[in-house]
Homo-oligomer: A and B are copies of this chain.
């Protein structure tokens, strides 16, 4: 009985890693989006594809969850993990989408820095999830993701403070306030995902 269950359990871990790698791919597309802003339409379209692929992975994990009697950990934890990964990719897509919708003609340095932070957080998440099957060695990833969130917070605060200095164009303030907020939400959602992973590890410690 035990042996027949292991393959099914292992499948879940593989699926999480695949999902996290897709989120990492999207994060890298967002960084490219800002770095090659003339090519933004094409990169935004690739981001939409990555988001759809993520949705399909979530549904597949959901279906597997319903048909599997024994899972490696609590159903609600699996559900929370998928949802948080989903949130990250949704927010990443929304950042790119909003830049185009708001007719923003060039990215700002803090926006690029925030995108880099999201990439580095997603690298940590992907590596952390690969280690999750052993239920250990996840702490270093978790700590680094929180450190990156703090760095992102500092960048966002400085960027917003800059918007409210004398002589800014109100239209730029309206646009960038929203984009910085979305970038910060994406960074926070990566931290939320890390918190779910940590909770799972603590339960199995």
Give the interface of A toward B (CB within 8 A).
101-103, 157, 160-161, 164-165, 168, 170-171, 173-175, 177
Q: Is the CB of B160 within 8 A of A101?
A: yes
Q: How many copies does the complex hold?
A: 3
Q: Is the CB of A101 within 8 A of B174?
A: no
Kindly list chain B residues whose C-beta atoms are within 8 Å of the C-beta of A101.
157, 160-161, 164
A157 to B101, CA, bound (A): 7
Kindly list chain B residues whose C-beta atoms are within 8 Å of the C-beta of A168.
171
A160 to B98, CA, bound (A): 10
Would you mind naming 13 contact pairs between A and B with Cβ atoms under 8 Å apart?
Answer: A101-B157, A101-B160, A101-B164, A102-B164, A103-B161, A103-B164, A103-B165, A164-B171, A164-B175, A170-B170, A170-B174, A171-B173, A174-B177
Kindly list chain B residues whose C-beta atoms are within 8 Å of the C-beta of A165.
103
Distance in angstroms from A106 CB to nearest chain B CB is 14
Kindly list chain B residues whose C-beta atoms are within 8 Å of the C-beta of A164.
101-103, 171, 175
Considering the complex, give the chain B residue whose CB is closest to the CB of A170.
Answer: B170
With A164-B175, A170-B170 known, 15 other A-B pairs at CB within 8 A are A101-B157, A101-B160, A101-B161, A101-B164, A102-B160, A102-B164, A103-B164, A103-B165, A168-B171, A170-B171, A170-B174, A171-B173, A173-B174, A174-B174, A174-B177
Kindly list chain B residues whose C-beta atoms are within 8 Å of the C-beta of A102.
160, 164
Distance in angstroms from A126 CB to nearest chain B CB is 30
A168 to B173, CA, bound (A): 14
A1 to B171, CA, bound (A): 67
